[in-house]
Amino acid sequence: MQRWFRTLTITAAAALTPLLSAPAAAQVPAGYPADYANLVAAARKEGKVIVYGATDTNAVSPLIKDFEALYPGIRVEYNDMNTTELYNRVVSEKAAGGSSADVLWSSAMDLQIKLVNDGLALAYKSPETPKLPDWSVWKGEAYGVTYEPIVFVYNKRLLKADEIPHSHADFARLLREKGERFKGKVTSYDIEKSGVGFMLITQDSKVNPGFWDLAKAVGGVSPRFQSSSGTMMERIGSGENLLGYNVFGSYAMLRAKKDPGIGWVVPSDYVLVMSRVMFIAKTAKNPSAAKLWLDYILSKRGQTIIANQSELGSVRADVEGELTAAGLAKTHGNALKPIPVGPSLLTFLDQNKRLEFIKQWQQAMGARK
Amino acid sequence: MTTPVSSLAATSVWRFFPTRGLVIALTALTVLVPLGLIFYQSLLNAPFFDSQASPGLAAYAFIFDDPDFWDATKNSLLIAGSMALIAVPLGGALAFIMARTDLPGRRWIEPLLLVPVFVSPMVLSFGYVVAAGPVGFYSVWVSQLFGTVPWNVYSLPSIAIIAGLTHVPHVYLYSSAALKSLGSDIEEAARMSGAGPLRVALDVSLPMITPALLYSGVLVFFLGFEIFALALVLGDPEGHLVLATYLFKLTNKLGTPSYHLMAAVAVCIIGITFPLVMLQRLLMKNASRFVAVKGKAGRQRPLALGSWRWLAIALIGLWLFVSVFVPLSGVALRAFVTYWGEGIQLSEVLTLEHFRTVFDQPALLRGIFNTIAIGVVGGLLSVACYAAIGLAMHRRNDRWSRFIDYLALVPRAVPGLLAGLAFLWVFLFFPPLAPLRTTIFAVWLAYTVVWLAYGMRLIQSSLLQVGPELEEAARSIGASAARTSRDVTLPLIRHGLLASWLLVFMIFEREYSTGVYLLNPGTEVIGSLLVSLWATGGADMVAALSLINVVLVGCGLAIALRFGVKLHD
């Protein structure tokens, strides 16, 4: 029913489009090659772009609205699903030769790289590439489009000022010294259930030489593991848990705005930064519209919305906002460790390496049951 | 097993065969194809659409070698067992009190009893966390009174008890449907000879409905293996796994989908439950002993409880408080506050924001609309299918009936999560079905198959109550089998059918795991949305949507009751 209405309004809009001054809308963004107009025209013909995404519809809708205003007549069909589901769907649709998306966008960076590595991506060098940091682009196929520091989250009401960890080392020391106080009060990702949680922990182990000591300290306080940042924060906000380790800064900031009990810290020793990876599918039925969408997301205009309305942090150095690459570079400089978009993410998709790591982690956690 | 009917049926089997054959064939197809896919998948060492996939037992080797699997199996058995032990006696007792006695206020208690059926377990689990978790509304209050919280909702026993209590209504529905169709003359005879209400219940009424109790007991046991949300929400913090959450864990454990491992787990679950079906068949052999609706209408008169009344009220009140009031009040509170927990004045954080957000999101609105549609229209269609299958088996104790009987119980034994996944594969790999994949039909079909056993049992319980002489009377004056079904059998079980429609409606409203893999723009249903919102931590939305769900069903139920669609009469 709703869908029918939407189709109706879209059809009406499409019918009216020629009556509006079409050429004005087809303007090529500044600094783009002149033949970009042809791409816009082709995309207009396609009329829509289908995106499979793992980012909340809430966060994406300002982007969709703005894109549709910029390119009238091109509709964005955004399908919101979780990261595993997204990967499964793409792989099974490919095998079945069924319909699939034009653009794939997910926070499971490793799975996205695997898809690209398996040859599912269309090579497309975006005109925005010079404006992007090197670590965020791979092979001119996969693009990291957000900038999300990984932080500690704590309960402001129940944690004393001297108990707030400002670095990973602080955090480990706190748990060792106050084990009794934090028993059952520390929460983090269940790395077996959450692909993203697993990816973060393995990145930790690469960046932090004292990682296994930290793991032992966590294991010593009977940690509570959840499969999402949201669940962790719900429990921290309520005071059931006091401290969260490896939480998405983007979510923490949003949550803290609504719940004054939530506090968060960007660690000073090193900050993992994750980035949602986007690429165009080789089998895209609407390749031109897909290119327009990717370029828009990477453009200053799109990134400004990502930073200030979607609250996901901009990857560009020339975009201002609270949690952006530019802002964090001023305060944390060298401590920032963006997870590079590239083949190094594939290491732990190797089954044996993965299970080995999980086993090691579980040993460090001890018999937490 | 022979009855006078089977010989009669044999003579006209040819006249009945085409329709019956069609029903059986369709049922077999919709149940066995996804099931076959699961078996096939479990015998490969990679997802079946992977070009690298080759046959082998690697999947089984992997899970049998995984201590988590044995842990999960143990916990599942424990939970399923406790569920049956808790739900069957309580459900039977509640059914007897409600259906047979003069307890005051029965009319408004009954809808309350059914709450846990139509509230998604996802909601209830969430409610328990908010109400009785370490810093839940009630826990904080109790710890202020006594200085400590005497329970832990995250422990395994708590999960088992909560699972048992929330499955009481399933048993209640079957038992009371069966009780309603009994005449009360036998009970009155017992009362006249001086038996008290308890004695009547234990020695007369409940034994009369043994088939319904057995069926519901086995079904509840099955459901124990499907427990997913409770274990997901309550079991996660302390790491208690059950088979369904173990399966869920496998989704990510290897980083890439491990369908072969998931399928192997599903096969193990079926391996546990199938012998139970055999056992149940054995127990049901003497079903005809319980025929109680004869050509002569049995009048029903409620038993006077007398001083037992207070005990009955206390029992019902306590159960309602623990299984309905506590979690739902938790969810309701959570839906109207911005945040909660230790050291927060609730009066300062009240808000309507969450509902505004829900109504702002097209996907969520669509989900609400789809949920209503699949419950009302889909439920009706499903009951029609179940009735057709039920009639195809009715009065026929041949191989086909037995086959369908087993068949109906099998999908129930497959966790919804995986059943949904299997249907996704079916829709993906059978080109004629492909266009339907992104429509609500896909979800409806999966729901109908997953809940086949459920609907069938209710219809069969009603069918078992129909004495053969009524049908024989029709047949002897020359009515065809189809005509007999239409004019005699169906009218006699109409209350059973209406009850199953309502039951199925409620089940479809709250179903959550089956739709997860079939979730597309356009096929959103509240249950699956709850899972995905929970995964992304949208607790505000979860609370608001849950409340909307409960209100919707409450309205539906009220309308049904208002227009005389009574659960029983």
* pLDDT above 90 for B355: no
Task: Give me the pLDDT at residue A122, please.
Answer: 94
Task: Give me the pLDDT at residue A277, please.
Answer: 97
* pLDDT above 70 for A6: no
> Rounded mean pLDDT of B222-230?
83
> Rounded mean pLDDT of A3-20?
43
Strand partners, A224: A187
Q: What is the percentage of chain B residues whose pLDDT exceeds 90? A: 13
**Domain-embedded: residue B228:** yes
Rounded alpha-carbon distances, angstroms, from residue A245 to A167, B21, B237, B342: 11, 60, 15, 21
Indicate which CATH number applies to the domain containing A17.
Answer: 3.40.190.10
Measure the CA–CA gap between B195 and B85, rounded to whole angstroms.
Answer: 26
Measure the CA–CA gap between B57 and A110, rounded to whole angstroms.
Answer: 28
CB contact under 8 A, B535 and A228: yes
**Nearest residue, CB atoms, A238 vs list B135, B357, B366:** B135
**Domain-embedded: residue B167:** yes
Q: Are A171 and A88 found together in one domain?
A: no
Sign of the C-alpha dihedral computed for residues B496, B502, B505 and B509 taken in this order = negative
For B52-82, the pLDDT digits (tens) are 788 989 899 999 999 889 999 999 999 999 9
Chain A residue at shortest CA distance from B51: A95
Tokens of B376: 């009302």
> Rounded mean pLDDT of B444-469?
83
Task: Tally C-beta pairs within 8 A across A and B.
Answer: 153
CA distance B42 to chain A (A): 17
Q: Are A12 and A126 found together in one domain?
A: yes
CA distance B239 to chain A (A): 6
**B contacts of A77 (beta carbons < 8 Å):** 521
Name the residue among B222, B238, B260, B295 with its Cα closest to residue B465: B295
Tokens of B222: 């099955």
Cβ(B46)–Cβ(B219) under 8 Å?
Answer: no
Collect all residues with Cβ–Cβ distance below 8 Å to B122 and sequence separation of at least 6.
B229, B233, B512, B527, B530, B531, B534, B542, B546
Cβ(A141)–Cβ(A281) under 8 Å?
Answer: no
Q: Are A352 and A307 found together in one domain?
A: no
* pLDDT above 60 for A14: no
Contact map slice: A 122-141 vs B, CB within 8 A:
none
Residue type, A311: E
- A362 contacts chain B (CB < 8 A): no
Domain that holds residue A156: 148-273+345-364
Q: Are A95 and A158 found together in one domain?
A: no
- A224 contacts chain B (CB < 8 A): yes
Tokens of A105: 């966008």
**Nearest residue, CB atoms, A56 vs list B256, B434, B536:** B536
Per-residue confidence band for B559, with pLDDT thresholds at 50, 70 and 90: low
* pLDDT above 70 for A183: yes
Chain A residue at shortest CA distance from B156: A369
Tokens of A139: 């092979």
> Rounded mean pLDDT of A3-24?
43
CB contact under 8 A, A354 and B255: yes
Task: Give me the pLDDT at residue B7, please.
Answer: 41
Q: Are A208 and A353 found together in one domain?
A: yes
Domain that holds residue B399: 20-35+76-290+304-563
**B contacts of A228 (beta carbons < 8 Å):** 534-537
Q: Are A199 and A129 found together in one domain?
A: no
Lowest mean pLDDT among A23-27, A350-354, B375-379: A23-27
**Domain-embedded: residue B462:** yes
* pLDDT above 50 for B14: no
Q: Are A44 and A68 found together in one domain?
A: yes
- A98 contacts chain B (CB < 8 A): yes
**Domain-embedded: residue B456:** yes
For A238-279, the pLDDT digits (tens) are 888 999 999 999 889 888 888 888 999 999 999 999 999 999
Indicate which CATH number applies to the domain containing B176.
Answer: 1.10.3720.10
How many distinct structural domains can be found in chain B?
1
Number of neighbouring beta carbons within 10 Å of residue B27: 23
Lowest mean pLDDT among A132-146, A201-215, B423-437: B423-437
**A contacts of B357 (beta carbons < 8 Å):** 58
**A contacts of B236 (beta carbons < 8 Å):** 190, 224-227, 231
Strand partners, A271: A336
**Nearest residue, CB atoms, B519 vs list A81, A227, A358:** A81
Residue B537, Ramachandran bin (φ over 0: left; ψ between -120 and 50: alpha; else beta): left
Give B110's Cβ-side CA count (13 Å radius): 19
CB contact under 8 A, B429 and A96: yes
How many distinct structural domains can be found in chain A?
2
Task: Give me the pLDDT at residue B294, please.
Answer: 45
Lowest mean pLDDT among B1-15, B256-270, B449-463: B1-15
CB contact under 8 A, A238 and B341: yes
CA distance A35 to chain B (A): 35
Tokens of A125: 């060098």
Task: Give me the pLDDT at residue B266, please.
Answer: 84
* pLDDT above 70 for A11: no
Q: What 8-state DSSP symbol labels residue B202?
A: I
**A contacts of B534 (beta carbons < 8 Å):** 228, 230-231
Number of separate helices (H) and strands (E) present in chain A: 15, 13
Task: Give me the pLDDT at residue A113, please.
Answer: 95
Rounded alpha-carbon distances, angstroms, from residue A16 to A10, A13, A20, A43, B442: 10, 5, 7, 17, 35
**Nearest residue, CB atoms, B256 vs list A114, A190, A261:** A114
CA distance A30 to chain B (A): 34
Residue with tokens 């496998």: B250
CA geometry: angle B364, B365, B368, nearest 5 deg:
90
Residue A45 has phi, psi (to 5 degrees) of -65, -40
How far is C-alpha B129 from the geometric centre of its chain's CA atoms?
A: 23
> Rounded mean pLDDT of B309-336?
89
**B contacts of A82 (beta carbons < 8 Å):** 532, 535-536
What b/e string do you get for A96-126 counting C-beta neighbours within 10 Å, with b at 16 or more?
A: bebebbbbbbbbbbbbbbbbbbeebbbebeb
Mutate to test the interface with A, among B49, B256, B377 (most CBs of A within 10 A): B256
For B504-524, the pLDDT digits (tens) are 887 888 888 888 778 777 788
Mutate to test the interface with A, among B248, B261, B339 (most CBs of A within 10 A): B339
Task: Give me the pLDDT at residue B303, please.
Answer: 73
**Domain-embedded: residue A1:** no
CB contact under 8 A, A239 and B135: yes
- A356 contacts chain B (CB < 8 A): no
CA distance A126 to chain B (A): 29
For B161-203, the pLDDT digits (tens) are 999 998 998 888 878 877 777 767 777 787 788 877 778 878 8
**Domain-embedded: residue B71:** no
Q: Are A200 and A255 found together in one domain?
A: yes
For B403-435, the pLDDT digits (tens) are 887 787 777 667 787 788 888 878 877 778 877
For B204-219, the pLDDT digits (tens) are 777 877 777 887 888 7
Name the residue among B387, B406, B404, B396 with its Cα closest to residue B458: B387
For A47-106, the pLDDT digits (tens) are 999 999 988 887 898 999 999 999 999 999 988 777 877 888 888 788 777 667 999 999
Measure the CA–CA gap between A117 and B275, rounded to whole angstroms.
Answer: 46
**Domain-embedded: residue A369:** no
Name the residue among B393, B497, B510 with its Cα closest to residue B450: B510
**Domain-embedded: residue B279:** yes
CA distance B150 to chain A (A): 16
Cβ(B482)–Cβ(B20) under 8 Å?
Answer: no
Task: Give me the pLDDT at residue B285, please.
Answer: 55
Task: Give me the pLDDT at residue B282, please.
Answer: 64
Tokens of A276: 């949602």
Cβ(A268)–Cβ(A167) under 8 Å?
Answer: yes
Start-to-end Cα distance in chain A? 49
Cβ(A295)–Cβ(A55) under 8 Å?
Answer: no
> Rounded mean pLDDT of B226-245?
85
Q: Are A236 and A302 found together in one domain?
A: no
CB contact under 8 A, A231 and B49: no
When the pLDDT of each residue in chain B is averaged and rounded to a whole number, the result is 80
Task: Give me the pLDDT at residue A353, please.
Answer: 92
Residue with tokens 């046991």: B221
Task: Give me the pLDDT at residue A81, please.
Answer: 76
For A309-326, the pLDDT digits (tens) are 888 999 999 998 777 788
Measure the CA–CA gap between B511 and B549, rounded to whole angstroms.
Answer: 11
Beta strands per DSSP E along A177-249: 186-189, 224-226, 243-248
Q: Are A263 and A204 found together in one domain?
A: yes
- B432 contacts chain A (CB < 8 A): no
Collect all residues with Cβ–Cβ distance below 8 Å to A293 and sequence separation of at least 6.
A49, A51, A67, A76, A102, A103
Residue type, A15: A
**Domain-embedded: residue A81:** yes
Element (H, E) at A137: strand A137-138
Chain A residue at shortest CA distance from B433: A98
For B276-288, the pLDDT digits (tens) are 766 666 655 544 4
